[in-house]
Structure 1
Amino acid sequence: MAALPTTSEAAPATADEAPFVLPRFRWARKHPTLIIGGVLLVAMAALAIFAPWIATHDPQDMDVLSRMQTASADHWFGTDALGRDVFSRAVWGGRVSMIVGLSVGVLATVLGLLLGLMAGFVRWADSFIMRVMDGLMAIPGILLAIALMAVTRASLTTVIIAITIPEIPRVVRLVRSLALTLREQLFVEAAHAVGTRLPVILLRHVVPNMIAPLIVQATFVAAAAVLTEAALSFLGVGVPPQTPSWGNMMAEGRNFVAVAFHIILYPGILLAATVLAINMLGDGLRDALDPRLARQL
């Protein structure tokens, strides 16, 4: 008669009980949007960072005899109306979009955080700051950016400043709403009661509780900045025309859509992929950092 299996010979553990194997990937399975968006964004960033080594031609080299050619072994994405290599210009153009997106995201978040904290905790400054923010939000962001670019010299720095200013009110309103909620919490009132100075309270107790929503908001600001930069360049009020950027490339190719559609196709694909990656990263971060959504997942 066969012996009954002992405790050590019991059936193998289920997938949920398997130690040190599947639990490592459980978090990734719950947040696929975050993983996909992060991987895609890293790939686009790597393409821009290593542009000098990835590009097959100088983005400014012109070969009139090879103008508006389709994809070939020598020109992977074809050539534009001046015979410049579209692949090389598209790779270098990613640098402009990445710099603008990162710079605007950081600047708008930092400035919005400072103004929002002041509006939320300094009562006499609240009305003035929020009326200014309301005035900025009453003007469409793209129109405000165009107006700022019209009175300044076209350069990458002025583009970043022109895009940052319309994005600041979004962050200010978010930070102010969080500050109004946090200042009524018991731990903040206790810190006030023991005589802790306001800057210390903000740094130790308030700002750490804002990090998660601020990171998510920064990703959406960065995505909007990339699109706005492309729109400004497309309209001719962005970075200088000789600078390789996706907006400039699409603006130069719009007159040749019927005969050389590839001139605007590839920059458009890269622009869409970058914005999609940033938005997916932001959605994934929101799902991962929000405790209520995390429990639902």
Structure 2
Amino acid sequence: MTAALPIEDDTGVDTQAPRPRRWRWLRKHPTLIAGALMLVIVAIIAIAAPHIANYDPQDIDPLARLQPPSAEHYFGTDALGRDVFSRAVWGGRVSLIVGISVAIFATVIGVVIGLVAGFVRWADGPIMRFMDGLMAIPGILLAIALMAVTKASMTTVIVAITIPEIPRVARLMRSLALTLREQLYVEAAHAVGTRLPTILWRHVLPNTVAPLIVQATFVAASAVLIEASLSFLGVGIPAQVPSWGNMMAEGRNFVAVAFHIILYPGVFLALTVLAINLLGDGLRDALDPRLARQL
């Protein structure tokens, strides 16, 4: 029996050949698919919060205080009678906005600092010593210190979390820049008189996208955790704004009688951080050229 030939369209292009390769690629990166699906689900829930939540997250009902989960209140109510499900769904918006914003700002600023340190030799020492000084301070402590001298808001939380994350991206970008500036195509561009900004834009940055994307996912996961920690300690998002950290902080005094207040936001937080980390691990494996050659 002869093997069936692949079907070709009118242009002579094989329309079936890529499919097995795509499925093989998906099977090779299950963590990437799992992380992406989980993160998409969390994002959909957060975006659709106004349509999913069956109560206003700020509505107070003293007669419904500390009720267990039921058909009326899916996740129960808190000490003020507010619906925990509605607050948990709205809290996802805060975490995702903070995580994405910190990842973008820290990556952009870190890339600029890393490029300057990697290609401007006289600036390398002072810049990296300053980055080392920032990294010597635990990120959560630096964020608490910054929040202590500012007014609590989402903007200040994003700024306070972004500053400790910048050195991580800057050091990565600097190491990549130090490697790429010794490549022959970069030296050739210098030799023909190409301006440095053009070299950085055309030859350096395109070769740093993969590791920077992976680093950005880990920064986002760290930002979500730090935001929840700051809110739990009372120095993050204002208490009236529903966030997972605020919800757990308010429920810690009622663990013995209403464990659901702290359980559900904790589950949402854990699943979100897990999804981002799985996505980062999967991207690292998928974008690694050494692993790509094995597919």
Name the TM tier (shorter chain). over 0.9
> Partner of 2:230 in structure 1?
232
> Partner of 2:9 in structure 1?
none
How do 1:111-260 and structure 2 match up within 5 A? 111-260=109-258
Q: Secondary structure at 2:239's aligned position in 1?
A: coil
Q: Deviations over 1:55-105 (max 9, x none)?
A: 010000011111111111110000000000000000000000000000000
Structure 1 residue 24 displacement after superposition: 3.1
Match of 2:42 among 41, 44, 62: 44
AA at the equivalent of 1:57: Y
- Distance change in 2, residues 1:189/1:11 (3 Å): closer
Structure 1 residue 11 displacement after superposition: 5.4
> Partner of 2:25 in structure 1?
27
Structure with the greater alpha carbon radius of gyration: 1
- Distance change in 2, residues 1:179/1:19 (3 Å): closer
Residues in 2 aligned to 1:229 and 1:277: alpha-carbon distance in whole angstroms: 17
Structure 1 residue 295 displacement after superposition: 3.2
AA at the equivalent of 2:136: A
The answer to whether structure 1 residue 10 and structure 2 residue 2 are counterparts is yes
Q: Secondary structure at 2:293's aligned position in 1?
A: helix
> Partner of 2:60 in structure 1?
62
Structure 1 residue 21 displacement after superposition: 4.5
Residues in 2 aligned to 1:170 and 1:206: alpha-carbon distance in whole angstroms: 19
Q: Deviations over 1:167-198 (max 9, x none)?
A: 00000000000000000000000000000000
Q: Secondary structure at 1:22's aligned position in 2?
A: helix
Q: Secondary structure at 1:127's aligned position in 2?
A: helix
AA at the equivalent of 1:10: T
**Identical columns (%):** 77
Structure 1 residue 25 displacement after superposition: 1.4
Structure 1 residue 261 displacement after superposition: 0.3
Match of 2:261 among 260, 263, 278: 263
Residues in 2 aligned to 1:143 and 1:93: alpha-carbon distance in whole angstroms: 23
Residues in 1 aligned to 2:95 and 2:19: alpha-carbon distance in whole angstroms: 39
Residues in 2 aligned to 1:130 and 1:80: alpha-carbon distance in whole angstroms: 47
> Partner of 2:51 in structure 1?
53
TM-score, normalised to structure 1, is 0.94
Residues in 2 aligned to 1:38 and 1:294: alpha-carbon distance in whole angstroms: 19
> Partner of 1:6 in structure 2?
none
Match of 1:89 among 54, 78, 87: 87
How many pairs were matched up?
Answer: 286
AA at the equivalent of 1:260: A
Structure 1 residue 27 displacement after superposition: 1.2
Higher mean alpha-carbon deviation, 110-119 vs 62-71, is at 62-71
Structure 1 residue 248 displacement after superposition: 0.1
Residues in 1 aligned to 2:126 and 2:165: alpha-carbon distance in whole angstroms: 18
Show structure 1 runs of 5+ residues with no match. Answer: 1-8
Structure 1 residue 292 displacement after superposition: 1.1
Residues in 2 aligned to 1:169 and 1:22: alpha-carbon distance in whole angstroms: 42
Residues in 1 aligned to 2:178 and 2:20: alpha-carbon distance in whole angstroms: 42
Residues in 2 aligned to 1:252 and 1:155: alpha-carbon distance in whole angstroms: 18
Show structure 2 runs of 5+ residues with no match. Answer: 6-15
Residues in 2 aligned to 1:25 and 1:127: alpha-carbon distance in whole angstroms: 48
Residues in 2 aligned to 1:11 and 1:168: alpha-carbon distance in whole angstroms: 56
Structure 1 residue 19 displacement after superposition: 3.9
TM-score, normalised to structure 2, is 0.94
AA at the equivalent of 2:27: R
